[in-house]
Structures are given as C-alpha cells and as structure tokens.
Chain A
Amino acid sequence: MTETLRPETPEQLREAVAWATSADTPLEVAAAGTKRVFGRPCQTSHRLDLSGLAGVTDYEPAELVMGVGAATPLAEIEAALAANNQQLAFEPPDFGPLLGAAAGAGTIGGAIACNLAGPRRVKAGAARDHIIGFHAVSGRGEDFKSGGRVVKNVTGFDLSKLMAGSFGTLAVMADVNLKVMPAPERTRTVLVYGAEDGAAVKALAQALGSAFDVSGAAHLPAEVAAGSGVDYVAGAGRPVTAVRIEGTGASVEYRCQAIRENLAEFGDTEELHSSNSVTLWSEVAGAAYFTAEAETQVWRVSATPGAGPRLAAEVRAETGGRAYYDWGGGLVWLALPPRPDAAHEVVRGALAAAGGGHATLLRAAESVRAAFPVFEPQGEALKALSARIKDAFDPKRVLNPGRMYAGV
C-alpha cells in the first residue's frame, strides 16, 4: 500500500525528504502524475506528491521572468503568460494522452524534470534553456538553490541544467524561475505535399538553413498525415511536410512567400493560418497520431537531423510500424508493433549507424520498461560519473531510485 506525503510548503518538503533519508525510504516524486509511466518503474513504498507547491508567485512581464511553484500546472502558467502576450518558448508538449493520462494536466516541474521541448526546440531550445534558477531539496534532505532571476548569469555551476532531465533523481524542486518570451503576433505554416522522407528532410534542412527564422520543421508520411485533425493535412492523401513561421504580420507574410518559393521544387505548397497551425503543431509535439493505438510501443529518438529518414527506414524494415519527424528530421517518432524487447537493439543499432544520439522508449508496458533500457545506455566512464553525481545529491537513493538507470 503506497502512502502519500503531500507537503504544502518548502519547509514541509524538506522535512519529508529528510525523513525519507533518515528512514531509508525511497520516494516516488510526482505532482500531477501525467508522466508516471515515463522511465523505468521505481520500487517505492511512498509517494511524494508535490501538488501543494503550486502557483505563480512572481511574474514580471517586462523582465521576461516568471517565478512559480514547481508543481504549477502548465495550463495555469500558459494562461497567465497569454494574458500578457507571452509564452514559454520551448513549447512544452503534452504527453498526457499518449501516456494514458489526462490532457492539459501536466506541471512545469514535470516538464523540466523530463527536459521536454516541442517543435520550437530547433529555434528556442528545450526546458533546460528556460530554467534560470530554482530552490530544491536534495536527497540529503537539505535546501539549496542555484541560478537566480536574471537570464545572464554565470555565477557558480549551472545546476539548473542538472535538474533539467534528471527525472527527479537528484533533488526535488520547490520553485523555479523561468525565462519567458513574447508570443508571436502571427503564426502560419507552409505545407509541402508529396515529398518522400528523404526529400522532405532535405527540404526542412533548406528551410532551417535559411534566414527565415523557422520555428517548426516536421514531416508526416502519408499514413501519419491521414490521422491529423487538420483537413489540409488529413485530406492530402500524400506525405505532408510542414514549416512554421512566426512573428509580426508583415514579416510572416513575406517569409511564408519566400519559403513557398524556396521549397516549390519539393512539391505543391499550401499555407495554414492560425488555428489550423496551432492544431497541427500541438499534434506534432504530443505524438497525437500514436495516441489511439495504445498497444504500440513509442520511441522518441534524437538524432543528427539528416540521418533521421535512414534511421526510421532501417528500423521499420525490421519491425514495421509508423514514423514521423520533428526538429527538421532530428527527432524521429516511432510507433512500433509491440515486442517483448521493444526492438531496443534494432532502434539503438540503427541510431548508432546513423551517427549516434539518444533513443528513449517513451511508451511500453511496465514489464518491458523494467527489463530493457528506457534511456540510451551509457558507456562505463559516463555511467560511473552519473553514479557519483547521484551519490553527491542523493546518497541514500531515496529520490525516484532507478527511474533513469539501475542504481541511479
């Protein structure tokens, strides 16, 4: 029977972790719990529920900074930002529906702990690039902070980077300071119809390598495009390549036109306006195309962009399944028919042959995630260093033990 601790203040958070440390009791760290099945399963008898540490505390639009409790819902943050025409530029994707949880329920702490980023990653960076400071309690049961409330800061080690993507295995954040950015006045998307994967990724490279400040670059093969909620995409009956342009009105019109001319050699072009654009990129961000077929195993593979199509082709030749591309080809989403080993050797073999990167098994049954590496396996030196870092912050292994790697 899992018992839940629900601190309401940073001091209670410290007490909870200090107790777990002294009692040698591992904690599952969670807030909304929308990504509980992301990562290796943890053996914990207690859950640390952070949802009491929520709320926008210190938002200064003119400073481009927002302070929030770590468990503040993203929806609440995004609403507060939207009221000031601002946004989280890293476009945190909503993996809730893909992972069998509610839509729109995720928190900022979860997005940071998993270092999430949506399609705008290619232009604006990931969660790691937008956390500028935090307070946390380490697995030692001690409070500490790093960073501050200004973006330009090189005072001491950048522990914000260490928090981002650590899946709650080193410290539990109580609050975070975020870098926020103006929201674009206008968003449009140029669609190119009919390009096969290889040509499409070349087209995306051309767009990303242009001066037109592209903020999204995705490619949906025909069978994936068919599942879109946007008519211009679903009804195409062909592969659809998408390039997003954001900014001021005159600039967006000019750049869309330029991109259409630039990419005409790859196929017919079309343009999506605001609401269709928003729908499409939210689907791309959250792998909406793979939500319904809940039995498939979903991989999220970060690779050298130009190598994406070859990687996907190699995997699918072995396993079947479907693929699509974000980040100009550098993020390959794979939905594969279920296998007891999640085809992990096939996926990682193809990734290694494509010049390396990291493959994450985002959705699979618990037994599969327990038996095979969810995250990219590490070489000996890196593994040992990761374990030493875990020792430094959480020597008793009380915070999400084993969530990323066995023993860490």
Chain B
Amino acid sequence: MRMPEPDAAVLARRGDIIEQLRAIVPGEGVIVDEDELRAYECDGLTAYRQLPMVVVLPETTEQISRVLRYCHETGVKIVPRGAGTSLSGGALPVADAITLGLGKFKRILEIDYENRSAVVQPGVTNLAITEAVEHQGFYYAPDPSSQIACTIGGNVAENSGGVHSLKYGLTTNNVLGVEVVLMTGEVLRLGGKHLDSGGYDLLGVITGSEGLLGVITEVTVRILQKPETARAFLIGFPSNESAGDCVAAIIAAGIIPAGVEMMDKPAIHAVEDFVHAGYPRDVEALLIVELDGPEAEVADLIARVQAIAEETGAVTIRISQSEDERLVFWAGRKAAFPAVGRISPDYYCMDGTIPRRALATVLKRMAAMSSHYSLRVANVFHAGDGNLHPLVLYDANEPGELERAEAFGADILKLCVEVGGVLTGEHGVGVEKRDLMGVMFTEDDLKHQQRLKCAFDPDGLLNPGKVYPTLHRCAELGRLHVSGGQTRFPDLPRF
C-alpha cells in the first residue's frame, strides 16, 4: 500500500509545527515523544502502521478551528481520529501529518426527549448515547459491533451500520445535525433538531466522507423509544441456497425483521466451540432472525417466519423463550470475530455488499477461491441487507500468507462488484480498498467525487492518501474540457 511521499520540507519544520500547536493547545494536548506516539500508529486495520509526525488533542471547537487554519495556511496535512476502531485504515497516520485526536470531546451536551434528540460531542461512544437515555426507554438505533469503543464522530465519518440497519437505517438516516470545522477553520452548523436541510444536503455528504471533508465537532442524533419486545429465531439449513431463499421469502412476504444474520458452517463451528451458544453443528447455514415490536405483532410475525422457514427447507428451528435466551442466541454472533481469532493466528475481515439473490453464487465462488489460495474462509453475513463479512484466515508469521490473504480479499470484493454489489457496506474504503475503487467506478465517476473534495479542501490536506487511488490536482480537475471548440448543437428531438 503506497502512501503519499512524505514532504521533507514539512518534516524539517516539525519543531516549529510543535511549537505552533502548543500555542493553540496548551498543556499535555500535544504529543511528540515516540513512545507516546506509538499508541496512535494504527487503527483497527493493524496490518498497516505509521508513526504520526505529531498528535494533537484539542479540547474545544475553537482550538480545532485554529489548528486547521494553521494547517491550511502553512500546508501541513492532518488526519482526524476518533477511537481508532476503523477496519479500513481510515485513521492510519501519515508520516508528514498531524494526527488530530478527538478523544477529549466526551460530553453529552443535551438530551431532549420531547424532540427525540440528543446533542453530543464526537468523542462520545456509540453505546454511551444509548446508556444516557435508556432509563427513559430510549436508545440510539445504529449499533456497529464495536459500539462499546467506537465514537459517534467516527460513526458519522464512516456512516456506520450494524445488525439492525435493515429496519432502522444507517448512521446517515439517524443523524439530524452536525457542527463541522472546514479546512479553512470556518465552523459550519448543518441541520439541527429539525428535519432535512435547506440548500445542498451537506450533512448527507459529510456523513460517510471518511474524514476527507471536515472535522466533526458536535453531533445531533435522533433517539427512539425501544420496542416493547424482541424475540430471535435460530434457523438451521442444509445449504446456503436454502438459507438465502428463506431470507428472500421473508422479505417478499413484506416482513422487515429487526435483524437477519447468517453464518456458514466454518463460522458456526468456530463460534460454537468458543461460546457454546447451542448452535446446531450439523447444518450448512444458520440464520438468526430477530423480530421486534409490540407483543401482538411479534407473535403474529413469529408464526409467519416459522412457516416460511419450514417451506424453504429449514432443518432446525428454535425461537427464544426468554430475554436471556435471546441474548445467548446473539452472544454467538457477536463473538464470531474473536471465535475465528481462536482458530487462526490472524484473520482478515472483508466487507462487500451484494444483492441477496447472488448469495449462493458468491459463497460457491468464494469456496473455489479458498482452495486456490489455500486459505480458509469463514462467513458471517448481515443477510438482510446483503452485507458480507468473509473472514480470511491466515498466519502473518508464514511468509507470503498476508499477501495471499490480501489478494484473496481483493478477489472477493471484485466478485461483489461483478454480481452487482459494492466494495464496502459499512467499514469504509480507507486505505484498505482505495486501490480497488477503479473496479467499481470509472475515471469520470471518481473525478466527480474528487471535485467535491476540492470544494472542501482544495490543497488535499485533510486525511490524505485515503479513499481515492490517485488524487488529481484540483486545478486540473476544475478545468473544463470542451473538445474541438464549439460542440455542435445536439441532434435530438426539439420543439
């Protein structure tokens, strides 16, 4: 993975940069010692590491504004960072860049039950929002599996999903407003407690922009009342096809479950050995289907889902009889990654999304790739919305295995695109999938995306080296190419 060549002139200014940052953020907020910088050298994509030039931990929006303006005026790159849980290297440091940590923005600023919203600082964890409102029966719906650690600022930057996104949406559908600092140091407030925006939907554009457009300093989220009840099914199938058919039939019947998760046989066995959740070992595929809502509705839907499961060839069907049992069903799924970690020294987690109908085909071809690369793969899958998480098992200590795992992963993602899907469903492009963007997008597609970047950050200083494989200069992107002088009047119907 090539990162932009460090600028020797900037590295030579390090002492001065540190001094300037200390003038803006006094006290302990500027980190320069190598031992301390080590804590910031990678995020959740641990295969890539780089020491930042310096880390700054501001405490106020004003300080962030001054830091960005300083970087803008003096041509210094900057990498924003939340909890550092990105699985795509979104917060990977850059050798000649400042890493801007938002760890001190930890306050919940306002909870407004009447308007069903909460205003929080970006360093508040996803789960802490729910914890702050659950005594009133409320919760914040998106629930990425890293929700204990990951922060809402990072969730906005990555447009995080979770197991309930099929019914309750992604981050972008649950955020009402943000305060964002532009590279110039200007502070914008987009949205608020009201719905939708006047003007261009910059809130929508910032969400999922992977820290390339601005630094988020405050977030207003929508909170919901928890459903009265939730129950989960464990449904085992003799083939991946029949499990896929069951999911399609549930949705075709007009049922949107709160969550539909699927595991293939290697994942089921890894999990069962680890957590003993009572998963059947003799099935090829296992579904967890969760239904939530009022008792009357859930009871009705349970009967319908059971009938669909039987029709589509389920060989085992269990329904949770208590809240404890429901949590046990989920405990297995939630432990899937560590469970796989037990059976392999290392694993590489992929994140493509495919149309659900392509599921069986993709799993079959993935099995063929697995033999080709001589690497095992276990699959956990947000089956409701087609989001795959193949875990490629490898041993980093075996020469060449990491490279093979990465090549295998890239092949899986290319396959996702080939069947009509996309490179990443929720983990982001970051550095990990950057060089695959051309598989999904044409040069003109990418140029239009990068022109948006130019409108926010014309010098490319914010989170450089991420998302886009080649960053054209904004002056070049801005030029209008009109071929052969005046284009002739088009030959098409006129009135």
A residues less than 8 Å from B475 (CB atoms): none
CA distance A208 to B488 in the complex (A): 56
User: Is the CB–CB distance between A144 and B195 below 8 Å?
Assistant: no
| Chain B hits for A379, CB < 8 A | 188
Min Cβ gap A327→B in Å is 6
| Beta-carbon contact of B204 and A158 below 8 Å | yes
| Pairwise interchain contact B422-A153, C-beta atoms closer than 8 A | yes
Q: How far, in whole Å, are A378 and B186 apart by their CA atoms in the complex?
A: 14
Q: Mark B86-120, 1 if CB is under 8 A from A, else 0.
A: 00000000000000000000000000011110000
* Chain A residues within an 8 Å CB radius of B173: 125, 129
**Is A350 positioned at the interface, with any CB of B under 8 Å from its CB?**
no
Q: Report A146-195 residues with CB < 8 Å from chain B CB.
A: 146, 148-162, 164-166, 170, 181-183, 185
- State how many angstroms separate the Cβ of B264 from the closest Cβ of chain A: 19
User: Closest approach, in angstroms, between the C-beta of A122 and any C-beta of chain B?
Assistant: 8
Whether A375 and B225, one on each chain, are in contact in the complex, defined by CB atoms closer than 8 angstroms, is no
Specify which chain A residues have a CB less than 8 angstroms from the CB of B494 in the assembled complex: 3-6
Does A128 make an interface contact (CB < 8 A)?
Answer: yes
Chain A proximity mask over B225-236: 1 for CB below 8 Å, otherwise 0? 111100000000
Does residue A212 face the partner (Cβ distance < 8 Å to B)?
Answer: yes
The minimal Cβ–Cβ distance linking A7 to chain B, given in whole angstroms, is: 5
| B254 within 8 A of partner (CB) | yes
Interface hub of B172, B254, B444, B491 (most chain A Cβ within 10 A): B254
Asked if A181 contacts B172 (CB within 8 A), the reply is: no
Are the CB atoms of B421 and A148 closer together than 8 Å? Answer: yes
The answer, among A12, A157, A159, for a CB contact under 8 Å with B492, is A12
Contacts of B161 in A (CB 8 A): 152
Residues in A neighbouring B159, C-beta threshold 8 A: 154, 158
Indicate if the CB atoms of B422 and A305 lie closer than 8 Å.
no
Q: A156-B467, A381-B188, A393-B451 are in contact. Are A8 and B425 (CB under 8 A)?
A: no
Q: Is the CB of A23 within 8 A of B202?
A: no
Interface contact A181-B493, CB-CB below 8 Å: no
Contact A128 to B490, CB < 8 A, known contacts A255-B294, A375-B198:
no
Contacts of A140 on B, CB cut-off 8 Å?
A: 480-481
Per the bound structure, the CA–CA distance linking A150 and B387 in Å amounts to 9
A367 interfacial contact with B, CB 8 Å: no
Find out whether the CB atom of A162 lies under 8 angstroms from the CB atom of B452.
yes
Residues of B within 8 A of A211 (CB): 137, 225-228, 294
The total of chain A residues at the interface (CB under 8 A) is 111
CB pair A15 B115 closer than 8 Å = no
Q: A129-B172, A358-B197 are in contact. Are A144 and B444 (CB under 8 A)?
A: yes
Known A-B contacts A4-B495, A211-B226, A248-B297; A159 and B448 likewise in contact (beta carbons under 8 Å): yes
How many residues of chain B have a CB within 8 Å of chain A? 109
Would you call B386 and A304 a contact (CB within 8 A)? no
CB-defined contacts of B319 to chain A, threshold 8 Å: none
The CA-CA distance from A349 to B343 in the complex, in Å, is: 64
CB of B338 within 8 A of chain A? Answer: no
Is B440 a contact of A157 with CB atoms below 8 Å?
A: no
Tell me the complex Cα distance, A181–B251, Å.
9
- Shortest Cβ gap from B242 to chain A (Å): 15
Q: Does A317 reach chain B (CB closer than 8 Å)?
A: no
CB atoms of B478 and A395 under 8 A apart: yes
- B195, A159: Cβ atoms closer than 8 Å: no
Question: Which stretch, B24-32, B279-287, B351-359, touches the partner chain A?
Answer: B351-359
B455 CB contacts on chain A under 8 angstroms: 385, 388-389, 391-392
A242 at the interface (CB under 8 A from B): no
Given contacts A62-B357, A381-B182, contact A355 B114 (CB under 8 A): no
B77 at the interface (CB under 8 A from A): no
- When the two chains form the complex, which single residue of A12, A208, A247, A392 contacts B451, counting CB atoms closer than 8 Å? A392
Chain-A contact segment, one of B5-13, B205-213, B305-313? B205-213
Shortest Cβ gap from A178 to chain B (Å): 14
Chain B interface residues (CB < 8 Å from chain A): 113-116, 137-138, 158-159, 161, 165, 169-170, 172-173, 182, 184, 186-188, 192-205, 207-209, 212, 225-228, 248-249, 251-252, 254-256, 293-297, 299-301, 353-357, 382, 385-387, 420-429, 433, 437, 440-442, 444-449, 451-456, 467, 477-478, 480-482, 485-495
**Pairs A–B under 8 Å by Cβ, sample size 26:** A5-B494, A6-B495, A15-B490, A16-B490, A19-B488, A63-B356, A129-B173, A145-B441, A150-B353, A153-B353, A155-B437, A156-B429, A156-B449, A159-B452, A160-B204, A211-B227, A211-B228, A248-B301, A251-B293, A302-B196, A330-B195, A356-B192, A358-B196, A375-B199, A388-B455, A395-B480
Q: A121-B196, A144-B444, A183-B254 are in contact. List 9 more A-B contacts (CB 8 A).
A: A49-B495, A117-B195, A152-B382, A164-B201, A164-B204, A250-B296, A381-B186, A385-B202, A388-B455
Which chain A residues have a beta carbon within 8 Å of chain B's beta carbons? 3-8, 12, 15-16, 18-19, 21-23, 49, 52, 60-65, 85-86, 115, 117, 121-122, 125-126, 128-129, 138, 140-146, 148-162, 164-166, 170, 181-183, 185, 202, 205, 208-213, 247-251, 253-255, 258, 302-306, 327, 330-331, 355-360, 375-376, 378-379, 381-382, 385-386, 388-389, 391-393, 395-396, 404-405
